[in-house]
Amino acid sequence: MTDTVAGGSFDIVILGGGSGGYACALRASQLGLSVALIEKDKLGGTCLHRGCIPTKALLHAAEVADSARESEAFGVQATLNGIDIAGVLKYKDGVVGRLYKGLQGLVKSRAITMVEGEGRLVAPNTVEVAGQHFIGRSVVLATGSYARSLPGLEISGRVLTSDQALELHEVPSSVIVLGGGVIGVEFASVWRSFGSEVTIVEALPRLVPAEDEALSKALERAFRKRGISFSTGVRFAGVTQDASGVTVSLEDGTTLTADYLLVAVGRGPRTDGLGYAEQGIAMDRGFVLTDERLRTNVPGVWAVGDIVPGLQLAHRGFQQGIFVAEELAGLAPRVIDESGIPRVTYCEPEVASVGLTEAQAQERHGVENISSYEYNLGGNGKSQILGTQGFIKLVRIVNGPVVGVHMVGARVGELIGEGQLIVNWEADPEDVAALVHAHPTQNEAMGEAHLALAGKPLHAHA
């Protein structure tokens, strides 16, 4: 990244170099638009440096540890001698570093003006960085998110967010995880595989509460089997800490002790102090409000990624960035269907889904118009080989298309690609049942599930 350059005028000025911002910059440049991309930290944003990539590297290290620990079940004599956390962090940082270097080279190869520094919107068409003004015919806000805490809950010492947890230079003997959503269950999974005692506290009635209830129940069963403790439907009351650990109190009177408390209560929009409200941009609890074409209420100002209400996912921001670039180039791209965006939680077992949950489908289309089917992975040869349990759940409109695909099991995140095509292309079960799925693959289970939902099950009961 270069030092701040003298300001100037551009077709597009993008504030934020995360997934949404850099995707917008690359696509806009590809379409012949002049672009200034402003980033105060590192190109790639949260996903590359503090989110998706480093956490998944830790999760893969955790999978390797589990493989060694369970090797005897496969006739392989291996032993797990321990976790070299310095080596794990070196591996994680190496993955991030290589991707970061590649992204820097990609942006540098395009006609994109990179600006290093903290930007602030000082007019609807102007971002100021260190006294320099970058003026755009259009301005795209893409400032991302931060790890939230609860009111009055200070992040310090042994009270961590995911940012600090990624750099923790020890394997804790015990951890309390506040929050049973994606971030919480992923870190719980890593630490348990590394040998920690883990307890999750979730205020809502179930883990991964945004997912279909069947997935939540399956994950809870799997976590119990792994020895991960959790309390759901109970709220956090307070925490004290000393040099040796933390003591967490819950509203039901329960007290928990551990080495660390991980606060994993979601991510907030990074919009404070950036001039958005001062320029008249409509906001809601810090989020930037847009229409379906990602336009704010201020002409010429657009927003993408985690600051826009909805799923806070890197691939959502990435696609939104491409959408805005194409919109500004006059290509009139198709509006992004939020319900068609795939979601994956990379704990063990993985949870993956796309489309409507059964409850959402029933609410939208009526209970009598929805049917569902669960295909157990026990009938899938590759899942037996991998030693994983779980299922694929399909939700369909009666005599109509599949509107939801929900999965739990090892590596099911790799199956969500076909799932999102099925949902987004509004395929009927009969359409998918007619396709040939390779054997033996876990992907074959997708075909079997659709065969069953189409009324012609082979390896399962209708």
The set of residues, in sequence order, having a beta carbon less than 8 Å from that of 297 and lying 6+ positions away, is: 280, 281, 282, 289
Nearest to 33, CA basis, from 302, 332, 328? 328
Cα separations (Å) of 433 from 408, 429, 445, 455? 21, 6, 11, 10
In 356-444, at which residue ranges do the beta strands (DSSP E only) sit? 370-376, 391-397, 402-409
Q: Do domains 8-145+269-338 and 159-265 have the same CATH topology?
A: yes
- CATH class label, 349-453: alpha beta
For the chain, 462 residues long, give each residue's pLDDT as a single digit of tens: 444 567 899 999 999 999 999 999 999 999 999 999 999 999 999 999 999 999 999 999 999 999 999 999 999 999 999 999 999 999 999 999 999 999 999 999 999 999 999 999 999 999 999 999 999 999 999 999 999 999 999 999 999 999 999 999 999 999 999 999 999 999 999 999 999 999 999 999 999 999 999 999 999 999 999 999 999 999 999 999 999 999 999 999 999 999 999 999 999 999 999 999 999 999 999 999 999 999 999 999 999 999 999 999 999 999 999 999 999 999 999 999 999 999 999 999 999 999 999 999 999 999 999 999 999 999 999 999 999 999 999 999 999 999 999 999 999 999 999 999 999 999 999 999 999 999 999 999 999 999 999 988 877 665
How far is 256 from 248, CA to CA, in rounded Å? 5
Q: Name the 3-class secondary structure at 438.
A: coil
Q: Name the 3-class secondary structure at 238.
A: strand
For 159-265, CATH gives 3.50.50.60
Taking each continuous run of H as one helix and of E as one strand, the counts in the chain are 13, 24
Of 133, 315, 406, 439, the active-site residue reads: 439
How far is 226 from 62, CA to CA, in rounded Å? 13
Read off the tokens for 83.
């976790």
- Catalytic: 439? yes
Residue-range domain boundaries for the chain: 8-145+269-338, 159-265, 349-453
How far is 25 from 314, CA to CA, in rounded Å? 15
Nearest to 207, CA basis, from 408, 19, 458? 408
What is the fold of 8-145+269-338? FAD/NAD(P)-binding domain (3.50.50)
